[in-house]
C-alpha cells in the first residue's frame, strides 16, 4: 500500500490540466471496483467515505474496510472523508484518513469560517489537507433558485484567506445526483473568477450527469478534483439487475457483474476527467 500525498495528486492535476476523480464506496465490492479501475487505467484516485456509507456501516468500519481493500494494491489512492460533520472530522483524523472534507455549508458564513478555521488548524497539525464547501449544492430534483445556491466570489476569497483550507468545493450549477431534466450549463465564468480570487484548486461535487464539454471547461477554469457517485452506483446496480433478470442466480454472481460494470464506468470517468494514465510510477512513491 502506498503512502500518498493528497495535495501532490491535485497539484499535479493542476499543473497538467486535468482533474483527479473522487468516487464514493458503498461496500467491499464497490471499493474493489474503484481500486481495479485505478489500476487498469493507471489513474490516481480519491476513495471517498461519504454520506451514504457512514449511516450504513459507521465511519470507523468504512475506513477499515477501505484500508483492507487497499492493503495489497499499489494504486495511487487517497482515503478521503466526504461531507464530514464536525465530530466526524476529528474521528477521521484519529483513524488516519489521508484527507478530509468538512461540510459547513449549512452554517452561516461566519460560523462556517470559524468552524473550518479550527478544523484546518487541527488537521494541518496532523499533516492532513482540508477541503471545505462554500455555497450550497442542491439534490437532484430540487426546485432551485440558483442565486441562493451559487458560491459568491467575494465570500470565497474571504473564506479561503481566513480559514487556510487547501481545496474549495463550489456551487456553480451542479447537483448531487442526476437531475431529471437537462442541467443548465455550468457557470464557467464564475469558476474562473473564484480561481483567480482564491488561488487554490477547486472541487466540483455532482459530476454525474454533467455534459462532458462542461466538465472539460470547468477543468480548464480551475477545477482539479471532480466528485462522482450516481453514475457509478447505477452501473453497479445494473450489473445486479441484469444478472437476476436471467433467473435464479447466486448473490455473488450478481455482485461480481456489478463490480465489473462499475469498474468500466469508473475507467470511463477517469478518461473523461483526464486522469487516466497520470498515476505516478510505484517506484517513485514511498511505500508503507
Q: What are 220-230's pLDDT values in tens digits?
A: 999 999 999 99
Question: Using CA atoms, how far apart are residues 133 and 131, in angstroms rounded to an integer?
Answer: 7
pTM (two decimals): 0.93
Q: Which of 54-58, 71-75, 148-152 has the lowest mean pLDDT?
A: 148-152
Question: Using CA atoms, how far apart are residues 220 and 118, in angstroms rounded to an integer?
Answer: 31
Answer whether residue 131 shows pLDDT above 80: yes
Answer whether residue 285 shows pLDDT above 60: no
Taking CA atoms, 239 is separated from 25, 32, 236, 256, 280, in Å, by 16, 15, 5, 8, 31
The catalytic residue among 82, 187, 214, 231 is 82
Confidence category of residue 287, pLDDT binned at 50, 70, 90: very low
Buried b (16+ CB within 10 A) or exposed e, 28-51: ebbbbbbbbbbbebbbbbbbbbbb
pLDDT of amino acid 243: 97
Answer whether residue 146 shows pLDDT above 80: no
Confidence category of residue 27, pLDDT binned at 50, 70, 90: very high
Active site includes 284?
no
- Is 2-287 a CATH 3.40.47.10 domain? no
Confidence category of residue 288, pLDDT binned at 50, 70, 90: very low
Mean pLDDT of the chain: 92
Question: Using CA atoms, how far apart are residues 48 and 20, in angstroms rounded to an integer?
Answer: 12
Q: What are 157-203's pLDDT values in tens digits?
A: 999 999 999 999 999 877 666 655 555 678 999 999 999 999 999 99
Strand pairing report for 2-3 and 286-287: antiparallel
Answer whether residue 142 shows pLDDT above 90: no
Amino acid at each position: 500500500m502506498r503512502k500518498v500525498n493528497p495535495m501532490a495528486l491535485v497539484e499535479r492535476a493542476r499543473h497538467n490540466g486535468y482533474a483527479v476523480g473522487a468516487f464514493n464506496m458503498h461496500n467491499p465490492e464497490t471499493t474493489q471496483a474503484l481500486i481495479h479501475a485505478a489500476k487498469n487505467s493507471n489513474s490516481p484516485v480519491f476513495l471517498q467515505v461519504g454520506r451514504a456509507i457512514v449511516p450504513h456501516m459507521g465511519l470507523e468500519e468504512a475506513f477499515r474496510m477501505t484500508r483492507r481493500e487497499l492493503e495489497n494494491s499499489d494504486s495511487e489512492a487517497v482515503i478521503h472523508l466526504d461531507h464530514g460533520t464536525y465530530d466526524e472530522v476529528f474521528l477521521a483524523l484519529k483513524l488516519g484518513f489521508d484527507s478530509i472534507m468538512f461540510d459547513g455549508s449549512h452554517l452561516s458564513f461566519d460560523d462556517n469560517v470559524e468552524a473550518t478555521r479550527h478544523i484546518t488548524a487541527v488537521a494541518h497539525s496532523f499533516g492532513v489537507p482540508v477541503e471545505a464547501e462554500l455555497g450550497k449544492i442542491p439534490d437532484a430534483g430540487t426546485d432551485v433558485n440558483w442565486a441562493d445556491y451559487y458560491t459568491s466570489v467575494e465570500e470565497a476569497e474571504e473564506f479561503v484567506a481566513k480559514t487556510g483550507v487547501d481545496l474549495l468545493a463550489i456551487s456553480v450549477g451542479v447537483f448531487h445526483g442526476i437531475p431529471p431534466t437537462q442541467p443548465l450549463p455550468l457557470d464557467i465564468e464564475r469558476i474562473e473568477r473564484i480561481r483567480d480570487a482564491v488561488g487554490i484548486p477547486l472541487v466540483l461535487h455532482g459530476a454525474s450527469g454533467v455534459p462532458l464539454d462542461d466538465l472539460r471547461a470547468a477543468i480548464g477554469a480551475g477545477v482539479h478534483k471532480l466528485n462522482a457517485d450516481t453514475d457509478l452506483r447505477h452501473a453497479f446496480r445494473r450489473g445486479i439487475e441484469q444478472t437476476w433478470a436471467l433467473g435464479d442466480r447466486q448473490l455473488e454472481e450478481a455482485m461480481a457483474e456489478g463490480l465489473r460494470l462499475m469498474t468500466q464506468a469508473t475507467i470511463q470517468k477517469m478518461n473523461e476527467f483526464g486522469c487516466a494514465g497520470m498515476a505516478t510510477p510505484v517506484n517513485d512513491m514511498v511505500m508503507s
